[in-house]
């Protein structure tokens, strides 16, 4: 089965939030041979037009390829990729200075300020980072890419975030915001939470989602086929 790209197994690691729609869409389009996965879910292409052209590497279906799906933090996913436990990982942001890993940018997600409905900032059309300096912040733990973005953002502005709660999942963070325990910076999602108001940051902030793989070695045919499929979709989104 390691010779035929139409069969075999792909061990795919990804961030928890990407499992809502992005990963199912990529796998579904790969199995069916559809190149337009990015146009069918809200987590891909924030700020990018969806192009309908077909990439030549993503036309053939692969219904017999099996997937093992692994979720975790960015740090954990990249570590397990280096150790050979994973074939491919979807993380944000992709690493840029690791000679052991290769990566390609796929798309961007806008990060928004999430506040409880009724919060003093809930009626704002834009929120500055300085407006959050006195707020209790709900974030992911260290090791998650989103946490690193937030830490770097506050440090770059000369601000000290008031971390009130740390979690391992974005949905838990959103739930704590909805319950009134603080505010957060989270990826914009397609499904609104009634108790949470999402407000764009000024200036707007985005994170890049990328696909990563080991630089050395030759991947199995099924892994290579899925990688080419995802990269083809990334090119479509960027066109």
Query: Residues 115, 196: contact at Cβ < 8 Å?
Result: yes
Average pLDDT over all residues of the chain: 88
Higher-pLDDT residue of 45 and 83 is 83
Which pLDDT band holds residue 53 (cuts at 50, 70, 90)?
very low
Q: Does the pLDDT at position 55 exceed 60?
A: no
Query: Residues 80, 70: contact at Cβ < 8 Å?
Result: yes
Q: Does the pLDDT at position 40 exceed 70?
A: no
My answer on whether 137 and 88 are in the same domain is: no
Q: Does the pLDDT at position 57 exceed 50?
A: no
Does any domain span residue 1?
no
Comparing 6-20, 32-46, 132-146, which segment has the lowest mean pLDDT?
32-46
pLDDT of residue 21: 86
My answer on whether 225 and 143 are in the same domain is: no
pLDDT in tens, 5-30: 678 999 999 998 899 889 999 999 99
pLDDT in tens, 85-113: 999 999 999 998 899 999 999 999 999 99
My answer on whether 29 and 103 are in the same domain is: yes
My answer on whether 101 and 121 are in the same domain is: no
Q: Does the pLDDT at position 149 exceed 80?
A: yes
Which pLDDT band holds residue 60 (cuts at 50, 70, 90)?
low
Number of domains in the chain: 2
My answer on whether 41 and 75 are in the same domain is: yes
pLDDT in tens, 159-201: 999 999 999 999 999 999 999 999 999 999 777 788 999 999 9
Which pLDDT band holds residue 78 (cuts at 50, 70, 90)?
very high
Sort strands 9-14 and 66-71 into parallel, antiparallel or unpaired.
parallel
Q: Which residue has the tokens 């603080």?
A: 182
My answer on whether 69 and 49 are in the same domain is: yes
User: Domain range holding 73?
Assistant: 9-107+209-238
My answer on whether 78 and 167 are in the same domain is: no
My answer on whether 200 and 116 are in the same domain is: yes
Region 201-214: what's the mean pLDDT?
97
Give the C-alpha separation, 226 to 189, whole Å. Answer: 25
Region 117-127: what's the mean pLDDT?
97
Does any domain span residue 17?
yes
Phi/psi-derived region of residue 8, left when phi > 0, alpha when psi is between -120 and 50, beta in every other case = left
Give the C-alpha separation, 136 to 134, whole Å. Answer: 7
Region 52-58: what's the mean pLDDT?
39
What CATH number has the domain bearing residue 97? 3.40.190.10
Does any domain span residue 4?
no
pLDDT of residue 46: 39
pTM of the model: 0.84
Give the C-alpha separation, 33 to 235, whole Å. Answer: 16
């Amino acid at each position: 089965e390691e010779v035929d790209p139409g069969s075999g197994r792909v061990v795919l690691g990804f961030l928890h939030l990407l499992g809502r729609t992005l990963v199912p869409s990529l796998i579904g389009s790969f199995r069916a041979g559809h190149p337009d996965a990015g146009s069918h879910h809200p987590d891909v292409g924030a700020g990018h037009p969806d192009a309908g052209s077909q990439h030549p590497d993503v036309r053939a279906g692969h219904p017999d390829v099996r997937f093992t799906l692994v979720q975790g933090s960015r740090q954990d996913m990249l570590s397990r990729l280096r150790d050979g436990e994973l074939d491919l990982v979807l993380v944000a942001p992709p690493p840029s200075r690791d000679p052991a890993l290769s990566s390609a940018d796929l798309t961007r997600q806008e990060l928004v300020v999430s506040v409880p409905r009724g919060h003093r900032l809930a009626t704002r059309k834009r929120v500055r980072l300085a407006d959050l300096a006195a707020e209790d912040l709900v974030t992911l733990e260290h090791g998650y890419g989103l946490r690193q973005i937030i830490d770097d953002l506050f440090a770059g502005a000369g601000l000290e975030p008031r971390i009130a709660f740390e979690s391992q999942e974005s949905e838990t963070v959103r739930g704590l915001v909805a319950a009134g325990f603080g505010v957060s910076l989270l990826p914009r999602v397609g499904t609104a939470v009634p108790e949470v108001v999402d407000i764009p940051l000024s200036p707007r902030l985005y994170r890049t989602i990328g696909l990563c793989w080991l630089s050395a070695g030759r991947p199995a045919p099924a892994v290579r086929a899925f990688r080419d499929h995802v990269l083809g979709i990334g090119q479509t989104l960027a066109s």
